[in-house]
């Protein structure tokens, strides 16, 4: 089973309009809504690929109810919280997408405890736990660290795709794989160089670091703790026009699927075999207008075109 955890999910609201007059009144032409949050996107992609996946996190209020309805068909194990789940508002014109992310509300200790119970119910040896996205305001490093180490102790491999100091917390707590983008890596480690930044996370304890490089594909690093570093690099066949939101989540879905399919295989070998697949699925997500969905035809074509090189 793959369990995705979204501690700070959101109802993604999109305002479509021809253009925006800044500082003025704008009439929105159309409003669309999707269940959002990075872990939700990962779960939706895995569900689309018919993988055994379950999603959890903290959910509440009427936006939470709406998200639960929208995710019907997916195995959902949300921890109920008293506050109303936040929204994100995307303002989409013909030329630009501007995102406004509400911060969300704090979550108490009892809810974090309930979340670790969900993890205990679902995750054991051979399972994969994906922790994605931002945390509720006020989340402590120890809450995140305990959740990661709890899953790791149960034998699950943990993939962490979050940002800030929590990336290092997850690496130290036993995450097998951490996946920052370039900016998140720099922010978390203070290193401008990608390899140097990834080495910090390896030294923290991560078995592997996969850095998403946008249109340049992905770079995976393994090794550390005295062992020589190995890298795998994969590039998309070209620039895919579309919506980059959710591309990183599709890559995480591909990596989680590969880890789940090869539970006994060393991570380095899994990455060698799957990084090109992650880049292909990521491109297939860009080709889809909605985050959390992939264009399966595009995915097949990209799979044939993307190659990985090792170093």
What are the residue numbers of the active site?
Answer: 249
DSSP letter for 214, please: G
Q: Is 226 left (phi over 0), alpha (psi -120 to 50) or beta?
A: left
Nearest distance from residue 61's CB to a copy of itself, in Å?
Answer: 8
Could you say whether residue 140 binds a copy of itself (CB under 8 A)? Answer: no
Task: Please name every residue paired with 177 in a beta bridge, in sequence order, or none if there are none.
Answer: 159, 208
Q: At closest approach, how far in Å is the CB of 19 from a copy of itself? A: 12
- Among positions 15, 58, 78, 112, the unique one binding a copy of itself when judged by CB under 8 A: 15
254 vs 249: CA distance, rounded Å: 9
165 is an interface residue for a copy of itself by CB under 8 A: no
**Separation CA 105–CA 223 (nearest Å):** 38
Q: Min. distance of Cβ 86 from a copy of itself in angstroms?
A: 8
Establish if 18 lies at the interface with a copy of itself (CB under 8 A).
no
Among 32, 97, 142, 300, binds a copy of itself (CB under 8 A): 97
**CA trace torsion 94, 248, 46, 298 (10° rounding):** 60
Q: Does 108 bind a copy of itself (CB under 8 A)?
A: no
Of the two residues 48 and 101, which places its CB atom closer to a copy of itself in the complex? 101
Q: Which is nearer to a copy of itself, 258 or 291 (CB)?
A: 291
Q: d(Cα 64, Cα 272) in Å, to the nearest integer? A: 38
87 close to 10: Cβ distance less than 8 angstroms: yes
CB of 183 to a copy of itself, least distance (A): 11
**Contact window for a copy of itself (CB under 8 A) among 26-34, 49-57, 119-127, 285-293:** 26-34
Residues 170 and 143: their CA atoms lie apart, in Å, by 10
| CB 100 to a copy of itself: min, Å | 5
Residue 19 vs residues 13, 29, 100, 175: alpha-carbon distances, Å: 17, 10, 17, 43
Whole-angstrom distance between the N-terminal and C-terminal Cα of the chain?
32
Out of 89, 149, 182, 265, name the contact with a copy of itself by CB under 8 A.
89
Using the rule CB under 8 A, give the single segment among 90-98, 184-192, 249-257, 303-311 that binds a copy of itself. Answer: 90-98
d(CA 112, CA 107): 7
DSSP state letter for 216: G
As given in the structure block, the two tokens for residue 126 are 């051979």
List the one residue from 52, 80, 82, 103 that touches a copy of itself (CB under 8 A).
Answer: 103
What 3-state class would DSSP assign to 218? strand
When asked if residue 32 is in the footprint of a copy of itself (CB under 8 A), the reply is no
Asked if 94 interacts with a copy of itself (CB under 8 A), we say: no
Binder among 19, 32, 52, 99 for a copy of itself (CB under 8 A): 99
**Is residue 242 within 8 Å of residue 302, measured between CB atoms?**
no
What is the rounded distance in angstroms from the CA atom of residue 292 to the CA atom of residue 53?
A: 14
User: What x-and-dash track marks residues 48-77 binding a copy of itself by CB under 8 A?
Assistant: -------------xx---------------
Which lies closer to a copy of itself via its Cβ, residue 25 or residue 264?
Answer: 25
Enumerate binding residues for a copy of itself (CB under 8 A). 15, 17, 20-31, 61-62, 89, 91, 96-103
């Amino acid at each position: 089973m793959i369990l995705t955890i979204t501690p700070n999910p959101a109802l993604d609201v999109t305002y479509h309009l021809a253009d925006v007059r800044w500082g003025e009144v704008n009439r929105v032409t159309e409003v669309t809504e999707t269940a959002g949050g990075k872990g939700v996107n990962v779960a939706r992609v895995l569900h689309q690929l018919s993988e055994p996946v379950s999603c959890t996190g903290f959910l509440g209020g009427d936006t939470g109810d709406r998200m639960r309805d929208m995710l019907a068909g997916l195995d959902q194990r949300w921890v109920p919280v008293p506050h109303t789940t936040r929204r994100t508002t995307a303002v989409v014109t013909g030329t630009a997408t501007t995102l406004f992310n509400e911060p969300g509300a704090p979550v108490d200790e009892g809810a974090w405890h309930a979340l670790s119970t969900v993890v205990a119910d679902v995750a054991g040896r051979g399972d994969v736990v994906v922790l994605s996205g931002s945390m509720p305001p006020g989340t402590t490093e120890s809450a995140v660290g305990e959740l990661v180490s709890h899953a790791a102790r149960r034998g699950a491999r943990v993939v962490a795709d979050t940002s800030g100091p929590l990336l290092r917390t997850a690496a130290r707590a036993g995450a097998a794989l951490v996946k920052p983008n370039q900016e998140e890596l720099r922010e978390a480690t203070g290193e401008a160089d990608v390899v140097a930044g990834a080495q910090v996370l390896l030294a923290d304890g991560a078995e592997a670091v996969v850095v998403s490089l946008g249109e340049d594909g992905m770079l995976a690093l393994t090794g550390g703790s005295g062992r020589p570093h190995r890298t795998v690099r994969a590039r998309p066949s070209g620039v895919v026009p579309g919506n980059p939101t959710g591309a990183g989540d599709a890559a995480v879905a591909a990596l989680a699927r590969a880890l789940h399919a090869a539970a006994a295989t060393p991570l380095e070998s899994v990455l060698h075999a799957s990084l090109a697949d992650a880049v292909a699925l990521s491109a297939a997500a860009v080709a889809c207008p909605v985050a959390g969905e992939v264009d399966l035809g595009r995915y097949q074509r990209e799979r044939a075109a993307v190659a990985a090189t090792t170093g």
